[in-house]
A and B are shown apart, each in its own frame.
Chain A
């Protein structure tokens, strides 16, 4: 069965409940057996302003929005104008809008999209305790073909704590919405297939990263709140205590990174989560983690920069600072999840790698991955656990002479004692040091330790996880992070029409993998690079790190406007012949 999907946008003024409505609709869709995604678009206002919930439901797993929206529901006429660029419409799209006696925002592009005035505020007023967003929920459910019972199940669960009156009011509103929608144009939703309870998950990328962290063994987190990473921390704050771990809210990002280095020195796998401004503050101490060889994981949920930028919206522009932001020669790991659910795997793997190599790992998630909620198949639990090389108590290397904390060894990874272990005392140091950890300013010691720290990272066996590679042919799309979703959908469409295209989604950005890359590029004649960056950070990185054969094209643009599959197809059109629909 091919993909059938419906795209729905809900907009309203901030606080009008469009996100609640969208979340409930997504969960009901999940319960009905559909896959789905919901992204949020909002300004920085804490309350007020405008907000939009962008939903797409399908009979197949989704990683991207579609090229346009089938249905838009606006709780008030003013809210739509703000999202013109983010909610493309077609001539056969439908706009349901509560005009409330006014006119809809005139800045909408002129399409032949059909507009329907529906007095949702007025309808809600007729219900005791009623709210327009619950009317909208009923309307949308009916129009896309979800049964009222599925909505009521969600309401029961969501409003359990709010008391019987609130539940009754919401149920009544949903019912009114269903009745009102009988006269509206109906859409053919994806086929409804019963799925056993528990087989699908509803999860955001930020929650997924948190889950990956604790699966990897993280038990200490220190962090400072920052959009759009805060949800990772909120999830960890309640989950860690269930595992004997803890989250400490630090006074700033300088404290966050140093607290996790301290905790990791104490033997606990540790992580912090932040966004660009926080990463910038942490870079000095990430260098300490490199030099003192204390493993930590820094999860950066990227947003538009520079400076405060657009704090609530997506961009892939912390790549430069993650790769090159540390002073000195400071080998470290940089990874990026290749999908929302891959936030689990990549974060877990990052913990494993950091611990195995006693080095910092920066994981570059982004706002789009982090704050999208998706209905997905239950993700597999991969057995990558934190395992640090620790000398056994009483081991010979601890006897007789000073413990050689920074012994060069064959791999560059030297066994690391943790405080409490007798005979293993040493001073972890950001100063260059000898093998025993004593400060040294000698060329020979500096060179030996630089080699050690570099060799352990470059010589590690990363296996096949360094990238996701699929497809065949001599044309390749190279991309990363949240840009992978729309690229995958574009390629699925093109391949369905006979095009032969390879895709490379890079998970391990540092260290570079020249041999793996050469193998992946074998026979490639044309490369399209897709990234959300004005200055082409990813392209420049690829150019610096690898030899890219043949014709190279870059499709880049800054955030926050997400890539659409159709745009990527356009970029590839002249390279792949055949039908591009």
Chain B
């Protein structure tokens, strides 16, 4: 984060817009909305200095529900929108939000390259292993033998995408996993992610109670990672490849400098650019 305006005195609920979410009752995303507003309140950032950027999908509705600036763009391009905003306006706290389909399927290329580029922003992915808004298709993180996907009735038969492993390999500077069943823990992790320089990925296991009701059990299955976050990518890779996707907490904290081109005015007189054309 770069904008540490403190002392707004705003409570978590004051970061909400008051617009009623479209989510199903019991959706994990409600809790994530709460975690996010708690995090912003905890950081005491003025709402006008925050921009929440998203693409399309259930969880991508997030910006509308916050009292900050927001952008609800097209499917899969949240990270590109957010990168442009952050590079142009490094003073803002930029947070991208979305789901597993938006981020890892249609937006997969931007995910790779945003990790690589490492702009100073936070990306919260509410992963429920399903396309909810289009009513129940397999997503990139769906297990291969899930047979309730309406386009893949025999299962996808293909390996799930491993977002944290890919993020690490692509250069993300902060990698964490949370569970929407732990609102305060998720809020604390989001605070840490925003504070950490560079690109921070927070995967939140956020059940889709409508199409993946079995995900209600996640709250019993997740457990805090047994070890502290490492800054060693090799060690982090070994852990992420073997942790079955249910350890929560901060898993990797790198120290790569963020991508931020200098926007200092060099010359004021634009007419000087004419000189190179003069014969």
Contacts and interface: CB of A to CB of B under 8 A. Distances in A.
Interface stretch (B68-76, B215-223, B227-235): B68-76
A427 B71 contact: yes
Interface of B: 17, 19, 46-49, 51-53, 61, 63-64, 66-74, 76-77, 80-89, 91-92, 109-110, 112-113, 261-267, 270-274, 277-279
Q: For the complex of A and B, list the 10 residue pairs with the smallest distance between their C-beta atoms, beginning with the closest.
A: A262-B84, A259-B84, A244-B265, A258-B80, A427-B70, A263-B88, A262-B85, A251-B113, A266-B89, A262-B81
B75 to A, nearest CB: 8
A427 B73 contact: no
A292 B271 CA distance: 34
Contacts of B264: 244
Interface stretch (A178-186, A235-243, A549-557): A235-243
Contact of A246 (B64, B67, B70, B87): B87
A439 B271 CA distance: 45
B74 A258 contact: yes
B81 A429 contact: no
B71 A265 contact: yes
A414 to B, nearest CB: 16
B263 A430 contact: no
B71 A262 contact: yes
A420 B80 contact: no
Nearest to A422: B48
Q: Which of B52, B270, B277 is packed against the most chain A CB atoms within 10 Å? A: B277
A420 B83 contact: no
9 contacts: A214-B270, A220-B87, A241-B266, A245-B263, A254-B77, A261-B73, A262-B88, A266-B92, A419-B49
A255 interface: yes
Given A245-B263, A251-B113, A419-B49, A215 B270 contact: yes
Contact of B72 (A201, A267, A425, A427): A427
Q: Which of A199, A254, A422, A424 is packed against the most chain B CB atoms within 10 Å? A: A254
Interface residues of A, number: 68
Contacts of B77: 254-255, 258, 285
Contacts of A220: 84, 87-88
A12 interface: no
B73 A263 contact: no
B48 to A, nearest CB: 5
Given A250-B80, A438-B19, A263 B85 contact: yes
A381 B274 CA distance: 10
Given A243-B270, A252-B109, A426 B84 contact: no
Contact of A262 (B53, B272, B274, B278): B53
Given A214-B270, A428-B71, 8 more contacts: A220-B87, A241-B266, A243-B270, A246-B88, A255-B109, A259-B84, A285-B77, A425-B70
A219 B262 CA distance: 12
A244 to B, nearest CB: 3
Contacts of B91: 420
A246 B261 contact: yes
Q: Which of B46, B68, B113, B263 is packed against the most chain A CB atoms within 10 Å? A: B263
Contacts of A264: 84, 88
